[in-house]
A and B are shown apart, each in its own frame.
Chain A
Amino acid sequence: MPCAAVIRFPGSNCEFETARVLRNSGIDARIYNWNDIDRLSDNRADAYVLPGGFSFQDRIRAGVIAARESIMDLVFEEAVNGKPILGICNGAQVLIESGLVPGWKPGSVQGALAGNLAPGRSGYLSGWTHLKPVPEAIKKCPWLSAMNGNPFPVPIAHAEGRFVFREEDMNRVRSHIGLSYCGVDGSAPHGWPENPNGSVLDIAALMNVDGNVLAMMPHPERSFHLWQVPPDMKGPWGESRRNSSLKDLEDQPGPGAIIFKGLAKYLGVE
């Protein structure tokens, strides 16, 4: 069975459910502490996930301290080797601050996840958003490989999720977009709250050059089961959530499961 390593930093808090949904997707998942470097080094995984949370309490800036932890040297090496790497929420912030994404020059910080920009409010925002994948990214990124291109809902929960790039990089960043925020029907967002944080180009998830590393602000692990979808959700996922039988409510995957299914497909899980 392929194996994924879930890297826990001091202050991570989504490591258990992330490991759980990986296991439910047919992938053996193990949690490694930030200082379990030797153990991880001896047991290289087939994929790596940096889970959500508040590594070092987002002090100074979300992700910046964790990006400097020694265990990230190993993740860095594996990323360059082409292993699939996913950062969810705080994990995405760590990937950006490590210079792995967008990664034109790996190790250089070339993007930012800045504070949410929203009318009349600041700080944390939690709620459900709709995402759609970029067709080219489906071909390139293992995490997106099981998608059919349809929009789907997933929750967000963050205070610093606004993708920002330098003006001169705005053109080349387009080819790195994995997922973007959209309306329920897949149309371009009409500002806030469809784009919940003011991300440029409505970016929700960004890849590195090769597409093996994905920095994703929304939480697919919290929408793994159909029963996790809110009852008032609009669109086909809401219909399916409201009208499903008891059995389907339990057995049917939720919209976020597709991310982990993508990895399983990539790693050859039946």
Chain B
Amino acid sequence: MDSIQIAVRLKTPDPQAVTALNTIKAMRLQLPPLKLCRHDLWEFEVSSGGRDTVSELIGHFADIVNPNKQLWLFTEKDSSLAGEDPELQWAGIVVRDYVDSVSENWTELLKRRGFPVEALRCGVLWRFGYLKGTDEALIKKMAMDLSVSDTREGGLFSNPVSQEVSFWI
């Protein structure tokens, strides 16, 4: 069983990321991220074929990746993602619903269509670009603080009651 993860992003500026960064600016943080990228994160548990299985199924479903508007890649640990400014220091946060219809329905659909996929889980990967040279532990803490909405004034990117949030890397 292989666990394979892909990140998918829009070729054009992502309106969600634009609005999110705009909202962060209004929060007047001491050290706000300078850039923000949003990726759909798909994680597949495949029973055979590894990456080839994932590449193949992507070719069948433009709902997962439409090459006319999106770029995708297999994610590697510690890798930077396409489109990221190398002059910044990046941290990643993954937000997933504990339970969601999209993951459940796609799992069923792919199985029904005969792909060797045991499970699938969707999430959102937010990448925060901070000023280079900032302490890495501090960046991770800031990214996490910004990602958990425990109060009305708190972070933005996940509701801890229905979503789990974790570091990506």
Chain A directly contacts chain B within the complex, with at least one CB pair under 8 Å: yes
- Chain A residues in the interface with B (C-beta under 8 A): 56-57, 59-61, 64-65, 67-68, 72, 76, 97-99, 107-112, 114-118, 120-123, 162, 164-166
Complex Cα–Cα for A67 and B15 (A): 19
Among residues of A, the one whose C-beta sits closest to the C-beta of B102 is A122
Q: Please determine whether B101 and A117 come into contact, CB atoms closer than 8 angstroms.
A: yes
What is the size category of the interface that chain B forms with chain A?
20 to 34
Q: Please determine whether A67 and B152 come into contact, CB atoms closer than 8 angstroms.
A: yes
Complex Cα–Cα for A56 and B98 (A): 24
Contact partner, A60, options B101, B150, B154, B156, Cβ 8 Å: B156
Residues of chain B within 8 A of A116, CB atoms compared? 101
Complex Cα–Cα for A164 and B23 (A): 25
Min CB distance A200 to B, Å, is 10
- Chain B residues in the interface with A (C-beta under 8 A): 15-16, 19-20, 23, 26-27, 97-102, 105, 108, 149-154, 156-163
Q: Please determine whether B152 and A109 come into contact, CB atoms closer than 8 angstroms.
A: yes
* 20 extra interface residue pairs, beta carbon distance < 8 Å, beyond A109-B152, A114-B159: A59-B15, A59-B20, A60-B23, A61-B149, A61-B157, A64-B159, A68-B23, A68-B153, A97-B159, A109-B150, A109-B154, A110-B161, A112-B159, A112-B163, A114-B99, A115-B100, A118-B101, A121-B105, A164-B161, A166-B161
Complex Cα–Cα for A68 and B152 (A): 6
Residues of chain A within 8 A of B23, CB atoms compared? 56, 60, 65, 68
Complex Cα–Cα for A17 and B135 (A): 52
Min CB distance A170 to B, Å, is 11
Min CB distance B36 to A, Å, is 11
Complex Cα–Cα for A67 and B149 (A): 11
Complex Cα–Cα for A123 and B15 (A): 19
Q: Please determine whether A64 and B156 come into contact, CB atoms closer than 8 angstroms.
A: yes
Q: Which 8 A-B pairs have the closest CB atoms?
A: A112-B162, A122-B101, A114-B162, A112-B161, A59-B19, A164-B162, A112-B159, A59-B16
Complex Cα–Cα for A23 and B163 (A): 39
Q: Which of B27, B101, B156 has the most CB of A within 10 A?
A: B101
Q: Please determine whether A60 and B152 come into contact, CB atoms closer than 8 angstroms.
A: no
Among residues of A, the one whose C-beta sits closest to the C-beta of B106 is A122
Among residues of A, the one whose C-beta sits closest to the C-beta of B159 is A112
Would A115 and B101 be within 8 Å (CB), given that A64-B149, A99-B151, A109-B160 are in contact?
yes
Residues of chain A within 8 A of B19, CB atoms compared? 56-57, 59-60, 65
Complex Cα–Cα for A61 and B149 (A): 11
Min CB distance A241 to B, Å, is 32
Min CB distance A177 to B, Å, is 17
Complex Cα–Cα for A200 and B27 (A): 33
Q: Please determine whether A60 and B100 come into contact, CB atoms closer than 8 angstroms.
A: no
Complex Cα–Cα for A71 and B138 (A): 32
Q: Please determine whether B149 and A97 come into contact, CB atoms closer than 8 angstroms.
A: yes
Min CB distance B42 to A, Å, is 14
Q: Please determine whether B152 and A98 come into contact, CB atoms closer than 8 angstroms.
A: yes
Residues of chain B within 8 A of A107, CB atoms compared? 151-153
Q: Please determine whether A99 and B152 come into contact, CB atoms closer than 8 angstroms.
A: yes
Among residues of B, the one whose C-beta sits closest to the C-beta of A56 is B19
Residues of chain A within 8 A of B160, CB atoms compared? 109
Q: List 27 A-B contacts (CB under 8 A).
A: A60-B16, A60-B19, A60-B23, A61-B149, A61-B158, A64-B156, A65-B23, A65-B156, A68-B23, A68-B153, A98-B152, A109-B150, A109-B151, A109-B152, A109-B154, A109-B160, A112-B159, A114-B97, A114-B162, A114-B163, A115-B100, A115-B101, A117-B100, A117-B101, A121-B105, A162-B162, A164-B161
Q: Please determine whether A108 and B105 come into contact, CB atoms closer than 8 angstroms.
A: no
Min CB distance B33 to A, Å, is 14
Residues of chain B within 8 A of A59, CB atoms compared? 15-16, 19-20
Q: Please determine whether A109 and B161 come into contact, CB atoms closer than 8 angstroms.
A: yes
